[in-house]
Structure 1
Amino acid sequence: MTLKNSVLAVGAVIAFSVFPTAFAGEQNSLIGTWRMISATVEHQGSSSDAYGPNPHGWLVFTPELTFVEVLTDPRVPPFRSNVRGEGTDEENRAAMLGSIGFFGRYTVNQNGEFTGNTVEGSTFPNWVGAVRTQDDLQLKVDGDRMVEDFRRPDGMKVHIVWERVK
């Protein structure tokens, strides 16, 4: 083995040890675009639709370990003004209650299973910088279905069923 090959081999071992998720692309079961099928919230034993009876939402996982998630309630009425920053207090409140969008980075283990994420940007500023582990966020993929279970800091449980977009 040449010195150059030895250096490359050692570099690969170090990179895999330090960044194991970067090499999980072929095994990463999350990669792709997912459409929200249903979303419910449970609080103090009561369950309700999180984004209405027919929620709209997309979740995209890239091979580069980034994600984007946008969830909306299609029943939120349009603003009277077509200028984004000119909604009334009532319109802004309805939009905030009926939607969330955020993005960031995620991690997977050597089997390509979700292990956590970090929110880098969000329409709810309090989530920026949030680090979620499997303790509060689980994503389980079964073929073209994925189930998301998330426990919010206030104890509310969110349950979302996703379907892979083909």
Structure 2
Amino acid sequence: MQRYRMALALLGLAWAAGMAHAASEMPVPSALVGAWTLERVDNVYPDGRRVELYGPHPQGLWIIDAQGRYMMQMVRAQRSGFAAGDKSKGTPEEYRAASLDSNAHFGRISADDHTMHTHIEQASFPNWNGKDGNSAYTLKGDELSYVVAKPSSGASEGAHGEVVWRRLP
């Protein structure tokens, strides 16, 4: 009888582990698959103030494949080059601007019930490497929008991010 209970307990653990693995392998809805261009990315503060993180006309590309892999990049439309013309010889101000004027990451994405689940494998903001996130999203025609609860800047001041993408034809 003891072996029977032990076997059932182990079977239950194996089933639970399999279900957890299956959840991480959730498919990406076909409506999200494709290429998207960035329309807007703002931090919104508790007092209602909005800050355009990458200026008034940000640029970006988000590519999501049918297997749930993604690559995303956002940049300020107008960026200054490094005076030395060499990435390894920038000034502290140039490095700061380059860091704040762009954001890129890649990983895995899945979705259910209008919630996106992401696993960031690598990011230009290294604090996000290996992080999982969930964001409610809205898809209206060719416009995809979502909220980032803890953006890479402004989070310590209570800001959340609002991001809007448009499907490329």
TM-score range for the pair, normalised by the shorter chain length: 0.7 to 0.9
**In the aligned structure 2, how far is the partner of 1:150 from the partner of 1:102?**
14
Q: Partner letter of residue 110 of structure 2?
A: T
Partner of 1:150: 148
1:139/1:86 Cα in 2 relative to 1: closer, same or farther (>3 Å)? farther
Q: Percent identity among equivalent residues?
A: 23
Instruction: Say whether 1:56 aligns with 2:59.
Output: yes
**In the aligned structure 1, how far is the partner of 2:20 from the partner of 2:119?**
20
Partner of 1:92: 95
Deviations 1:26-74 (A, max 9, x none): x421101100111211123221212101101111111110111101112
Q: Partner letter of residue 104 of structure 1?
A: G
Instruction: Say whether 1:161 aligns with 2:164.
Output: yes
Q: Which runs of 5+ in 1 are unaligned?
A: 1-14
Contact 2:38 2:165 (8 Å CA) reproduced: yes
Contact 2:27 2:67 (8 Å CA) reproduced: no
Aligned residues: 146
Q: Which runs of 5+ in 2 are unaligned?
A: 1-17
1:23/1:105 Cα in 2 relative to 1: closer, same or farther (>3 Å)? closer
**In the aligned structure 2, how far is the partner of 1:132 from the partner of 1:140?**
16
SS of the aligned residue for 2:66 comes to: coil
**In the aligned structure 1, how far is the partner of 2:20 from the partner of 2:46?**
43
Deviations 1:50-107 (A, max 9, x none): 2101101111111110111101112221111232222111000011111111111111
Return the TM-score normalized by structure 2: 0.76
**In the aligned structure 2, how far is the partner of 1:16 from the partner of 1:33?**
30
Partner of 1:105: 108
**In the aligned structure 2, how far is the partner of 1:80 from the partner of 1:142?**
43
Q: Which of 74, 77, 80 is equivalent to 1:77?
A: 80
